[in-house]
Chain A
Amino acid sequence: MSEKNLYDVIIVGGGIVGTSAALKLRSFGLTVCLLERGVCGSRSSGINYGGVRRQGRSLAQMPLTQRAHSIWGRLKEMIGIDGEYVRSGHLKLARSQADMESLTRYKERTAEIDLGLELLSSAQLRARFPWLGERAIGGSLCPEDGHANPRLISPAFARAALRAGTQIFENCSAQSFLHNGQHFEVKVDIQAEPLKSVFLLNCAGAWSNNVCETFGEKVPMTNSHPLMVVTDALPAFMNLSLGVEGGGVYVRQVSRGNCVLGGSQGYQLDANRARPGGDGIELVLKGAVELLPNLRHAQVVRTWSGVEGRLPDREPVISFSSTTPGLLHGFGFAGAGFQIGPAVGEVLAEMVAHGKTSIPIEAFSIKRF
């Protein structure tokens, strides 16, 4: 067995979590090999809505999301591009009194965390955002949240990891995994000899159960297929990212003027791909036009969907393996992994290098199932 096939860490999956873990691991001086079945950042990490928000996350995610917030603040120095990231504010709208009460409770529950939430009445909303439709009766603004372009940012994390000395194999499918008592061995389709490592990071998104199953800890993960719609460029009327309490509609306008809308589901095309359907597209438009009458006369120019892993409690798995020393997991972000992804990567890297992390992650243990 040649030495060149032995690494400190093998990472399975070139999404935003795997690539940011690689970047951090390299800064600790560890040798890293990253395997990506397609090209890095082309799955959920690259084709999500692009929301970079803390507001609305569970209390368990607060330390992680705050850490991510500071990473996003240093994005350009880390990955070399700004990726259209703006701290424009994230406005979560209430469409009923019950929604408004829920937003109020959220602000109270997160009072100790520095989110800077501002509750807005119907009159305040109309005064500040006159383009809002009748449907919104109040809202909660998180001024430092924002949005970014995932299809630029996630591949840029991979390029940064590559520049930092990560061995990246793209278009490389992992065929099998095992631990031989000494090392992990990963068989790949691009070479005969297996790759070996001391640590194995499972960051394979919706496909992470392949690794979990091999090591006897399959999780109850299902797929979801968030569906996005893009309009042609409209005159700039907002730079906020909009959501609604309870979910179901989200909208942002990019600097080019296009609006990106989401809120329904596509359908699974095959094991690896999803596609938007007619009904799903129409549902997104219904929700979005109701909130933003401005969109009525926009043209819909494109749509897409993707495959996203979701666990029953909608919380991710960020965890040491419960069966196999040296194996770590980071997956299952249920459509909300883009903002926290870089922090999860760092946390996983710390867990490899130091055996622990300063961020509380008990809620994300794989043992909870």
Chain B
Amino acid sequence: MNDIPVIIGAGPAGIRAAQTLVEFGVRPIILDEGMRWGGQIYRQQPTNFGRTSRQLYGFDSSKADALSKVFMGLMNQVDYRPQSLVWNVEQNRLDVIHQGQSTMLPWQSLIVATGATDRVLPFPGWTLPGVFTMGATQIALKYQACAIGAQVILAGTGPLLYLVAYQYVKAGATVLAVLDTAHFSSQIKALPGLLNQPIQLARGMYYVGWLMSRGIKIRRGIRIVRAEGKNTIEALVIKNERGVVETLPCDALGVGYALRPETQIADGLGCEFKFDPMQRAHVPVKDIAGRSSLDGVYLAGDGAGIMGADAAELSGELSALALVLDRAVHPGDAEPLRRRAKYLERRIQNITRFRAGLETAFPCPDNWIEQLTDETIICRCEEITFGHIRDAITTCDIREVNRLKALSRAGMGRCQGRMCSQASAEILAHLTKQPLLNVGRLRGQPPIKPVPAHILAEASTPKTEAAK
């Protein structure tokens, strides 16, 4: 094989993909934005911090250790490039910033394992200091050994809500309440699906029981009304399970409604997307092995649709096997590879059923838009409010998200809609009474993340002729 496969992302999917390629004698390039491998889920603490793996990753410490050991063992057999930001992707070309320089990297085979970020649903007061997404709430603890506040409320929905609460209390932080927007009845209804991963289910129940035994208030079927405070959050106002408004004092709020895949690279490459009703978002099309609609592009892990860390490991291996099979890297009998692939596919299918169960147990709330006021900021980068978006939709008869971006500026700032596009799309669908599918998805453009002008100005351009 002449081409050197490139793996983007060194989380669980990227690491297992790398391991698999190395097994077949391939030395992949691994580009990762992080300083150290592990991705978000197994993010490592700074090198001079001394917490044990058990303290950091809890029940998942053996998985974290195993993965980390694998990666350290691969070091001499892969071309690992941490702190590398892929800011532009084209057919057969990546532009990468590393150590203050932008360089062009040609590719023929690519495994995209870009992971996920929080799904953000705004509410009045969500931009106050002290309000964090659930992912950030967890990272503060995992990475920096910090709690987000002294009197913490955790709210939203999803299994991460209970996991983070458990981790916070275990680390000695004060969690005043765990507020789930999902109803208990949804969680009962989801049991059959959740039984596909009995260990995960047992663990979730363990967290709940453990929290309750320590007197942590767990409340379900609530609705977030607003965060209040002058310079920082001072209280969370909710509508409780009986529809009564309550004001709960706190100095920090972690709030999360599950995750959304990071799809900009797949989009930039030109991968075909489809709407996934379960994730309420457009995700890149792939077969179960991770083959995208484009030859040579494989998608693995949460970046191709949220499935969690275990599925990410499996899909990382599976996508690398698909690459090995497609590119005929393996000279011998392909049958054992196919059997291994089948085994991985079955395990992923089980997780898929579990994942559907999770959606039933912790549905994305459908009433959050009703809480928005005209002043609520939807797009933080450009400070675009709900009132402005609604007026733009009405005045200009907007039916589609790219038009909404052009005429309201929501999604035009530094994050290019990574944080607000889900909310904007939901608002547009709601106000125009269209199914979410019909409002479309934002067209991505480089840069994938903001880049300093001087780095681009100093790049040695043009440089692509050889690659194209």
Contacts and interface: CB of A to CB of B under 8 A. Distances in A.
A42 B270 CA distance: 21
Interface residues of A, number: 34
Contacts of B102: 278, 282
A275 B454 contact: no
B454 A281 contact: no
B336 interface: no
Contacts of B454: 289, 296-297
B407 A152 contact: yes
A326 interface: no
Nearest to B456: A285
A210 interface: no
B461 interface: yes
Interface stretch (A7-15, A184-192, A299-307, A358-366): A299-307
Contact of B396 (A159, A278, A300, A301): A159
B93 to A, nearest CB: 7
A367 interface: no
Contacts of B447: 281, 300-303
A298 interface: yes
A165 interface: no
B446 to A, nearest CB: 6
Contacts of A230: 412
Contacts of A279: 461-464
Interface string A195-208: 00000000000000
A275 B443 CA distance: 10
A282 B406 contact: no
A331 to B, nearest CB: 22
A296 B446 contact: no
B21 interface: no
B459 A300 contact: no
Interface string B369-412: 00000000000000000000000000110001011001100001
B446 A278 contact: yes
Contacts of A269: 270
A276 interface: yes
Contacts of A286: 456-457, 461
Interface string B241-271: 0000000000000000000000000000010
Interface string A284-298: 011011100001111
A231 interface: yes
A207 to B, nearest CB: 19
B108 interface: no
Contacts of B88: 277-278, 281
A296 B407 contact: no
A283 interface: yes
B185 interface: no
B90 A302 contact: no
Contacts of A300: 447, 450-453, 456
B46 interface: no
A345 interface: no
Interface residues of B, number: 33
A300 B450 CA distance: 5
Interface string A149-163: 001100100010000
Contact of B451 (A276, A283, A299, A304): A299
A219 to B, nearest CB: 30
A30 interface: no
Interface string A34-48: 000001001000100
Nearest to B447: A300
A232 B407 contact: no
Nearest to B398: A39
B3 to A, nearest CB: 19
Contacts of A152: 407
A225 B355 CA distance: 44
B310 interface: no
A244 to B, nearest CB: 16
A282 B396 contact: no
B450 A278 contact: no
B452 A299 contact: yes
B141 to A, nearest CB: 29
B445 interface: yes
B456 A298 contact: no
B406 A296 contact: no
A286 B95 CA distance: 16
B456 A232 contact: no
Contacts of A295: 453
Nearest to A259: B453
Given A46-B406, A151-B407, A276-B445, A296 B457 contact: yes
A39 B450 CA distance: 29
A232 B450 contact: yes
Contacts of A297: 452-454
A66 to B, nearest CB: 30
B104 A302 contact: no
A269 B161 CA distance: 42
Contacts of A46: 406
A39 B456 contact: no
B424 interface: no
Contacts of B414: 232, 299, 301
Given A276-B445, A279-B461, 4 more contacts: A279-B463, A282-B457, A296-B454, A301-B416
- Please provide the 5 A-B residue pairs with the shortest distance between their CB atoms, ordered closest to farther: A299-B450, A278-B95, A289-B457, A285-B456, A282-B461
6 contacts: A155-B407, A279-B462, A289-B453, A290-B457, A301-B447, A302-B416
